Amino acid sequence: MNEMVRDRQEVIERLKSAEGAIRALGVRRLALFGSFVRETASLESDVDVLVEFEPEQKTYDRFLDLSELLERLLGRRVEIVTTESLSPHLGTHILSEARDVIRAA
């Protein structure tokens, strides 16, 4: 596992450095939201990630592989939310706060 990321810029840099590996898991779009976007993350904070998979690539195994990859890469727990799983109550807030790191091609 890598050293723990400390701020938003470090999260973005590490994610961009692994874009090829992330896309190889079928990820179309990856965005940050939560405490790292708001720059209120503490040492205990996880990294909140919104993910959209390519339709034919979305499998449970790829979801787990992505989670493991991101946790190793960032040195923190990662909470992954897919665009399809957004709740009506929090979805609007998450979408308004989300900052794209890897965009759909």
Assess if residue 2 is contained within a domain.
Answer: no
Query: How high is the pLDDT of residue 77?
Result: 98
CATH of the domain at 43: 3.30.460.10
Domain total in the chain: 1
Going edge to edge, which strands form the sheet with 47-53? 78-82, 47-53, 27-33, 99-102
Assess if residue 32 is contained within a domain.
Answer: yes
What range does the domain containing 40 cover? 8-102
Question: From the candidates 46, 61, 65, 100, which is the catalytic residue?
Answer: 46
Question: From the candidates 7, 48, 61, 100, which is the catalytic residue?
Answer: 48
Cite the beta strand spans of 1-105 per DSSP E: 27-33, 47-53, 78-82, 99-102
Tell how far CA 82 is from the center of its chain: 9
Contacts with 50 (C-beta within 8 Å, 6 or more apart), sequence order: 29, 30, 31, 32, 33, 81, 82, 83, 86, 94, 95, 98
Assess if residue 1 is contained within a domain.
Answer: no
46 is catalytic: yes
Assess if residue 35 is contained within a domain.
Answer: yes
Assess if residue 55 is contained within a domain.
Answer: yes
From first to last of its 105 residues, what are the pLDDT tens digits of the chain?
Answer: 789 999 999 999 999 999 999 999 999 999 999 999 999 999 999 999 999 999 998 899 999 999 999 999 999 999 999 988 998 888 888 999 999 999 987
